[in-house]
Amino acid sequence: MHFELILPGLDWPTGPGHHPADDLALPTLSKLLGFSEAIWTPRSTPETLLAERFGLTDRLPHARFRRFGERTPAPTDGHWLCCDPVHLHFSRDTLLLNDAGGLDITREEAHALMDGLNETFADIGHFEAPAPDRWYVRLAAEPQPEFHPLADVNGRPVQLFLPEGEDVPRWARLSNEIEVWLFSHPVNAAREERGQRTINGVWLWGNGTAAASGSRPFAALQADQPFARGLASHAGLSPAATDHYHRPDGNGLALIDDLQRPLLHMDREGWCRALQALETNWFAPLLSDLKTRKLEAIRISVPNDRHTLQLDVGSSGLWKFWRKPRTLGSVLAAAPQPAAQTP
């Protein structure tokens, strides 16, 4: 049996001084890294890797899958767009976007804003927020533009990620109208009084073509991320939680994003706590199953926007006593460098 662990956020950047992981007790991860073969492949996203494992490579209806992976039931009719809350701000003359990760939106705030959006923009569709930081709009007709995923835009100039294709002006106008509406909403006035950043925009994205079920070379999936849960449901799987490793009856796959948000917000302490929990709940039992040959191989995949690190460990290679444990920092330091720009 084989097991793959997709771990976005494991690649905390290396730099001068100690890597954050160097100060942690990570004996099992160090052993896995020492026995692994590291391969650097082109950039990817957790969602893209996961879809590929399901045999799906076309532009997927991300919003639909994510909505159907939420804990609250979703209507089966209509077309879905993610309409995620963001904070827009200028740096000099450049408009930048930050996702809701640092906004601490409460359920009461989200409910108040949903009520207002549905009253003001009822002709557009129905807005809902199954989670305070994940919003959706359900539409009667499928939107035509190609929208950029929020993860691609976060922390970057908005101008570089404007929608493309057909009917773009309509959606640009809707985004602008929602920004104007949010600017004067009492929720944001109260946030300003408390010294909080405002919820002054939304990012529309996630439309795509309905996907047929592809191949599925694994018997079990562990995932908490709504998109992963929705994709699993589409493929006829019931995903398990990611609190700890469950030995599957066949090949297994897990997507754990506990490290992703701390990395995105450079939360060193939060990242270290999450990595320490992975050592106990995942790396140790995985290595134990590898040693006892309950697993034949483990793959740890670490996607990001620069490259993807793939770490392969086989049970047949554990006898190579000359392979010494390696630190995470030393493995990440070997990442390929971007090609130099020619003048």
Domain residue ranges in the chain: 2-55+216-332, 62-205
For the chain, list residues with pLDDT below 50. 340-343
Angle at 71 between CA 102 and CA 121, to 5 degrees: 65
What was the pLDDT predicted at 138? 96
- Say how far apart CA 156 and CA 173 lie, in whole Å: 21
What was the pLDDT predicted at 70? 95
- Say how far apart CA 244 and CA 103 lie, in whole Å: 29
What was the pLDDT predicted at 341? 42
- Say how far apart CA 81 and CA 134 lie, in whole Å: 11
What was the pLDDT predicted at 212? 62
What was the pLDDT predicted at 217? 76
What are phi and psi for residue 312, nearest 5 degrees?
Answer: -110, 130
What was the pLDDT predicted at 4? 96
Residues in the chain: 343
What was the pLDDT predicted at 93? 87
What was the pLDDT predicted at 210? 66
pTM of the model: 0.87
